[in-house]
Amino acid sequence: MHLMKVDPRALKENSDRSRQTKSTPQADALLLATIKAVGLVQPPVIAPETDGGNGYIIDSGHRRVKQAIAAGLEEIDVLVVDAANDNGAMRSIVENIAREPLNPVDQWRAIERLVSLGWTEEAIGIALALPVRQIRKLRLLANVLPAMLDHMAKGDMPGEQQLRAIAAANLDEQREVWKAQKPKKGDPQVSWWSVANALSKKRMYARDASFGDDLAQAYGIAWVEDLFAPADEDSRYTTNVEGFLGAQQEWMTIHLPKRGVITDVNNWGQVVLPPKAERVHGKPGKSDRTAMYLDREGKVQSVHFRLPEPKKNKGADEAAGDDAIVMVKPRPDVTRKGIEMIGDLRTDALHEALARAPIEDDTLMALLVLALAGRNISVQSGASDDVYGFARMERHAVGLVGEDGKLSFDMDTLRVAARSALIDIISARENRTNSGIVARLAGDAVGADGFLPTMGTDEFLSCLSRQALERSCKDTSVLPRARVKDTRAALVEHFREARFVHPTALFAPTAAEVATWRSKSAVGADDDADVTADDADIGSGDAAALDDFDPEAIDEAYRVAAE
């Protein structure tokens, strides 16, 4: 075994090499970049030809040789070994199987070594074909507890945002959290989200502060420099969120204009103005007011608004309408958008259940009766030219009638037609297609609750009030947070692995709703019975009197009554 220099173009590939699959373009680009930057770190291994030739065959390092040629190298160092009886097959497989990639912690230690030797992050990124952002991410490991580093070295790495939250905490805080969150024996995974969540501290930046050093000192705010931020911006921040917001509130109180108000923002970050107030987007007038508030980032913002002129009642004293404080109505548990989402989800689940769930024939016929009683069903008479809605029903009916015009079907065909008709008829959407309570009764009958998708999404949970969100935390490991959006984010993360259906979305109506529906139907039935009885009395008691009427006059009377 000896080292020598050769022209890489003179080397021949080994047809018996273990790695036959082509490498990815990204991996080849990375290797080419490192060869251009620092050369070949590890010489390829070659052996003399065994078939009588005087050349050399590559035992290991085919990619290195190929990329060295692409880099334009005229000569490379190679390690020459004796020819093997198996044409190097065993050496090739051992060399590929035994290799272990560098774990992220060792990569960080190597990067820190290069930095200590005078390498810049940009130069390291070019040499390793890595983004500078990745280099900076790995350098965050310098602020991580050694016990966590030992676990990360096994390949279980947190995400970038989680790593930033961990590195921002001091070692004592990390140590306490690690005691509670470190994996148990036999469990190789760590819930880095839980670790980062326990250590996360929201940063409030000095560039967003309206107050000065006097209020900062009064509220105990100490600014810290963010070493990873761009150099051309004020990156000072504090994790004393309560102190920052308190100083901002006091600054607003001091600088509040005359007749101005301090208000809040809603769940969507929009300013909440007094009831009936109209926001002024242009230049404010003399009678307009100013509302100051803190946005989601803690910045002081202001908008202008005007109140309507108060109505004065005759003989009544003038009310101080401008200075009156009106309480905002409490937000319902589920917003209108949430109700509409529930209607869409219910309808989709109901249709899927009607198509797939087992339904007995008698239940299927009962459901058809229910469907035809829905609020979204309209029946046209033969005298009407309006056939809106009938085309879909005709599609299902055609399959039940033979070419001779007679009913001709088997039970399977009938079941498919009945299910399809039900799907087209029944709806729980919040619009004119809503079938009303019958859709919920049908959904309960076919088990459509089991077809509802999980509602543990940010889109649906944002439709819930604080009280409804906190009730949703029941029977979960999630504890309500001080801020609604933090509670919602924790629930979204929790329900990634679990199914959540809000009680409001379940199909089964309450006993009171069913009783109300039945009573209304009973009243309608009684009215129809009274009308029928009256008609019967006329037809029997006054039969003799009808003999005195002209038949044509009777027909004309019925025609006028029908119109």
**Which neighbouring-strand residues pair with 5?**
77
Determine contact, residues 337/463, Cβ cutoff 8 Å.
Answer: yes
- Could you give the CA distance from residue 138 to residue 144 in angstroms, rounded to a whole number? 11
Q: How many CB atoms lie within 10 A of CB 378?
A: 9
pLDDT at position 531 is: 44
pLDDT tens per residue across span 35-70 = 887 788 778 888 888 776 678 888 878 888 888 898
Position 96 confidence tier, pLDDT thresholds 50, 70, 90:
low
What is the average pLDDT across 79-94? 64
Position 304 confidence tier, pLDDT thresholds 50, 70, 90:
very high
- Could you give the CA distance from residue 37 to residue 326 in angstroms, rounded to a whole number? 70
Q: Phi/psi of residue 461, each to 5°?
A: -65, -25
> Is 338's pLDDT higher than 80?
yes
Q: Are residues 74 and 29 in the same domain?
A: yes
Determine contact, residues 183/151, Cβ cutoff 8 Å.
Answer: yes
Q: Are residues 427 and 354 in the same domain?
A: yes
Q: Under the phi-then-psi rule, with left for phi > 0, alpha for psi from -120 to 50, and beta for the rest, what region is 131?
A: beta
Q: Are residues 136 and 165 in the same domain?
A: yes
Range of the domain at 33: 2-97
Q: Are residues 281 and 226 in the same domain?
A: yes
Determine contact, residues 440/508, Cβ cutoff 8 Å.
Answer: yes
Residue 311 domain-assigned (yes or no): no
Q: Are residues 12 and 113 in the same domain?
A: no
Residue 325 domain-assigned (yes or no): no
Residue 128 domain-assigned (yes or no): yes
Residue 326 domain-assigned (yes or no): no
Would you state the structure tokens that stand for residue 268, as one six-digit string?
């969507």
Q: Are residues 55 and 147 in the same domain?
A: no
Query: Which position has the higher pLDDT, 231 or 351?
Result: 351
- Could you give the CA distance from residue 119 to residue 516 in angstroms, rounded to a whole number? 79
**Which neighbouring-strand residues pair with 278?**
306
Domain boundary among 165, 199, 233: 199
Q: Are residues 241 and 137 in the same domain?
A: no
Q: Are residues 409 and 342 in the same domain?
A: yes
- Could you give the CA distance from residue 428 to residue 433 in angstroms, rounded to a whole number? 7
Domain boundary among 97, 128, 144: 97
Q: Are residues 91 and 108 in the same domain?
A: no
Query: Which position has the higher pLDDT, 350 or 102?
Result: 350
Domain boundary among 481, 505, 529: 505
Q: How many CB atoms lie within 10 A of CB 211?
A: 21
pLDDT at position 95 is: 57
Residue 321 domain-assigned (yes or no): no
Give alpha helix (H) positions in 182-317.
192-199, 213-218, 241-254
CA proximity to 301, closest of 273, 329, 259, 324: 273
Position 557 confidence tier, pLDDT thresholds 50, 70, 90:
very low
Would you state the structure tokens that stand for residue 449, as one six-digit string?
């609750």
- Could you give the CA distance from residue 178 to residue 195 in angstroms, rounded to a whole number? 7
